Amino acid sequence: MGEAWIAGVGSTKFGRHPDRSLLELATEAGRAAIDDSGIPPERIGAVFVGNFVSGILTGQELLGPLVAANLGLRHVEAVKVEDACASSSAGVRLASHMVGAEIHRAVLVVGAERLTGAPREVFTTSMTAAIDGDTEAASGLTFPGFWALVMRRHEHLYGTTREQVSAVSVKNRGFGVRNPLAQFREPVTAADVLESKPIADPLLMLDCCPVTDGAAAVVVASPKLAWRHNSPAVRISGSALVSGPPRVADYDDVTVHDGTVVAAERVYAAAGIGPEDVDVAELHDCFSIAEIVDAEDLGFFPKGEGGPAIAEGRSRTVVNASGGLLSKGHPTGATGCGQLYELALQLRDEHPNQVPGARVGLAHNGGGTTAAVTVHVLERLS
Amino acid sequence: MTETGTRARSRATVVTDAGTVYSHTTIRVAGNAHVGEAPFVLLLVDRDDGGRQLGRYRGDEPPAIGTRVEVVELVGDVPVYAPSEEGR
């Protein structure tokens, strides 16, 4: 397999876009990524659109051909990719296969989602489309509920505290202040978290990412094409898409998300690195406890030590310098590309919260009950 | 189901339908299908007959992890748990 690079990135602001359609957002991000890459649009052989619930919430489908046509791309391989909250990063994984196998020299991946405006119950119902309708959905499980079950167990096994979990929200909301794309740009305190409304005990409102509209896109291209067009490229040195337990009852241990563990093993082996080499990471902090679990499963800390390590700032890797999902928001299908957008800026020295000298970046994106997991390792080109 | 029927069922199934609380949460914001039921307690239970299962709890305050519980009702396919009679 040949290499695949991220030759260009683009993103809309994440937040509330009541006056803009899903397709408008997707088209804006896609065009920005193509422009950023400098690659002529006619070189793009495929368009993957990552999206989770457009059919349920907006009634719009056929996203692949529609986005391709809106961007002036004709006769390309265009299709929607759905893996719940990991939809667009799954698209990047597929794109890296296609470019690496020299099927196409450039593939555009757009993640897009329109979530705001629906009544709360309708929104919550749409998210539960990623819970097994034959089994666990009937119990009334929600995604905050899933992570609440994880948090209770994490507390029980490792003594993780409310203060440690709140520290994740405080840290990430602090980073969000300087990110112009973020939905929330005001910091929060531990007291704010503690006083916020209970959602699924022990999770509180400020443990949860907000409801968000947005789109983000990346152009995955061959090194040769990116080099020829002087793209501001970064290397994809590891890419994995791994299925994990799709039901909470399927976990041996709900504090160990084995899809993440396996995906991490694969990308570290592919990139020839270990977790200690990662300078900057975007982790799927859909809920504050998730960042703790993710960081442990990725090997940043031993299992059970994520809570105190994050609360005390004992992390070599700077995690969620973008503000994470807790600040940027979580336009589900767009989130994976949004993470890669942030990492690309870090590795190009262009990020508003720049980590000095960042050379290796890692993105972790999870869908459902961490049932669809992607991990990508990106590296600065020397 | 009458109260008598419930008690008869729980006695008959106490061995296979009993288990230990593995984790729990109280859902306060529910999806459309369950919005009128919130708040409600969900339990993840390690069943004595093997396997783990998600179910509801009959009560407002969730039992601690490790508490013995048993199925007292089935709503569709969803088991509803209550504290086990073993220790009473």
Write the burial class of residue A117 (CB in 10 Å: 0-12 exposed, 13-18 middle, 19+ buried): middle
pLDDT at B4 over 50: no
If one counts every other C-beta atom within 10 angstroms of the C-beta of residue B16, the result is 13
- pLDDT tens sequence for chain A (382 residues): 899 999 999 999 999 999 999 999 999 999 999 999 999 999 999 999 999 999 999 999 999 999 999 999 999 999 999 999 999 999 999 999 999 999 999 999 999 999 999 888 788 889 999 999 999 999 999 999 999 999 999 999 999 999 999 999 999 999 999 999 999 999 999 999 999 999 999 999 999 999 999 999 999 999 999 999 999 999 999 999 999 999 999 999 999 999 999 999 999 999 999 999 999 999 999 999 999 999 999 999 999 999 999 999 999 999 999 999 999 999 999 999 999 999 999 999 999 999 999 999 999 999 999 999 999 999 999 7
Q: Which residue of A has its CA nearest to B61?
A: A201
What single string gives the DSSP state of each residue in A171-209?
HHHHHHTT-TT-S--S---HHHHHHSPEEETTEEGGGB-
The larger pLDDT score, comparing residue B7 to residue A317, is at A317
For residue B39, say if its preceding peptide bond is cis, omega within 30 degrees of 0.
Answer: yes
**Nearest CA-CA partner of A327 in A123, A186, A156:** A186
Task: From chain B, pick out residues whose CB is under 8 angstroms from the CB of A202.
Answer: 25
Structural domains of chain B, with CATH: 18-87 (2.40.50.840)
Q: What is the pLDDT of residues A161-186, one digit of tens each?
A: 999 999 999 999 999 999 999 999 99
pLDDT at B12 over 50: no
Distance of residue B82 Cα from the nearest chain A Cα, in angstroms:
15
Q: What is the pLDDT of residue B87?
A: 54
CA distance A234 to A376: 12
Contact between chains at A145 and B40 (C-beta distance less than 8 A): no
Instruction: Please give the model's pTM, rounded to 2 decimal places.
Output: 0.96
**Residue B23: which of A121, A139, A254 has the nearest Cβ?**
A254
Contact between chains at B65 and A201 (C-beta distance less than 8 A): no
If one counts every other C-beta atom within 10 angstroms of the C-beta of residue A317, the result is 22
Q: What is the pLDDT of residues A90-103, one digit of tens each?
A: 999 999 999 999 99
Contact between chains at A145 and B25 (C-beta distance less than 8 A): yes
CA distance A30 to A25: 9
Task: From chain A, pick out residues whose CB is under 8 angstroms from the CB of B55.
Answer: 139
